[in-house]
Structure 1
């Protein structure tokens, strides 16, 4: 019997292996290979994978595990210190990027409402690109990773507020209850996570921590449970998973958990980037090619410069500030969510949504290529820069 899901997985992973091989021979990021493969196999070209939405839903689990594993490497005291350092940088940079995106859209004839949504989509950087390409072995990069995580988490909160606002515009409701949940949700999830770790997980892991299969099973369950709790109170699954990771960061088996969940994370992230390429509608590319090129090119040039300037003002060294800026110099997967919600809510039309999609994918590809050629990463284009 023909199983479309099994066939899709066969195409994704056999193709991803071939695409990654070609990307590495060409000294490019493997992520570029996954996106190009998705475009090739997706509905717009060969049509071998005709329903990328199903893959994309499963692929979102990869981002959940990514944030959970990052939380495992951050102690609560360090996280508070990072938030103090990057809050002003995040807010100011978001305003600058939003103004840039609004200006580009308005210059190409989009209305005020659509320009505002395009500006909002330009504000954020990619959690996956920023963190997937960051090595964790060197102390220098652990500090860079902390700064990157702090900026991205604050951006995620802003993105959630933006999505709530767009949903409110579409339904005609103010959405104040959702905004209140956004304010009260994080403390509630944090309290629940730390209490459960203190009075439940700590004891069962102390007693059965030698059984590796049990630790793996309970770690996955814990990650997904706190992620779901975050979603229930109005946050994203990803922020919930991050809180779950931070809650168990002090556990003596946190390193084992991180190592055992890494292959699971990578499995779903391959699906994510494939689905990203497969979901791109090439038929709309020609219509938005010029504004998308300006928006993507301007974003790639502006974001590194702005982050360097702002981080230098909070006493980060120039070299570190530059590297953080380059690693955050793309648009975000949240831009795709914003485009989808705004389209569903009737706030923007298909052309504006296509502009956001094309510009986002373009920045993903160029940014991952630049990072892989310029800075250490697990999938760098040269052996000298390839670090895990």
Structure 2
């Protein structure tokens, strides 16, 4: 009998001798919209046909009832029918008074053009004067986000909002930020660019490295934290009035871009760019993990031995696979990286002056500070073997002494 161009708005159908208002709302178990209907009268149809604002308002009041029905419960017909006369037939002031005690899907009204200031003041009918049949759901999402910010006491200035729009994080703060100058009011864009320039200068001397302990795409959390702190300190210092949300999104942008650059680089940039292939190039090296998977690195391999080892770690790392060994079997030397304990062991076979035939080993343990420390250890062993690690850590030969030191650090 009646259906607007936008097929989502409730439509009126004739069923036998009566009329029913049919609308979609909520979702079923398969996440598809559910369809509900309720009986209406000719007088209701006349208003729906003539007044888009009231059509949208009654739908906004019916939507919470459809959500309450869940995936398979029936609509509360009594509550739904009780909405019709007050919303469709009342004077504007009577409708507004009724809606003060009625749940509304307000974001839905905003999507269809509601004036937010009038809506928030309770003048719902007047707020829908400029309603349209075509929704703008981005506007509705921003309305929802603004309400949540207001609930936690956050108010955005025009510059704050412009920065969030520039990074694409006005609505979804957890998405990967990007640069979108076209999303910003041209009058505010120069100020936004100045803020970004401040952040870029603060992060210019920092970088985020790849972290094989977190897989092929993982990056170093400590590097991220250092860059975040540096950027936020610089931005807050230069723009003390910026909201925390704006400062956070700028640091997130800088860190995300640095992490993206890192994923196109080697796992150990220093080894790849600055460390020559020295004494160990003529030696075959063996990589193993805690699952006894083994891989050989041979002289002439296109990859640096350090990069090949970290590539092996990134491929094999897992919650139950956190011990990796790098060995020079010909010399009887190796290092064992104990990621779960932030530590490392270096091992060397030793000659037996007592004449026993069994192989004996010299084993020493060290606590590892961070990823950079692990990288230095791997580089040192590849370049110079067991003895090259002497100055890179405090070594302990007694396992009990080492375990006590590890626990002291763990528990502060």
Normalising by the smaller structure, the TM-score range is: under 0.3
Q: Larger Rg: 1 or 2?
A: 2
Using structure 1 for the length normalisation, give the TM-score: 0.20
Using structure 2 for the length normalisation, give the TM-score: 0.19
Instruction: Name which structure has the greater RCO, CA cutoff 8 Å, separation 6+.
Output: 1
More helix by share: 1
More strand by share: 2
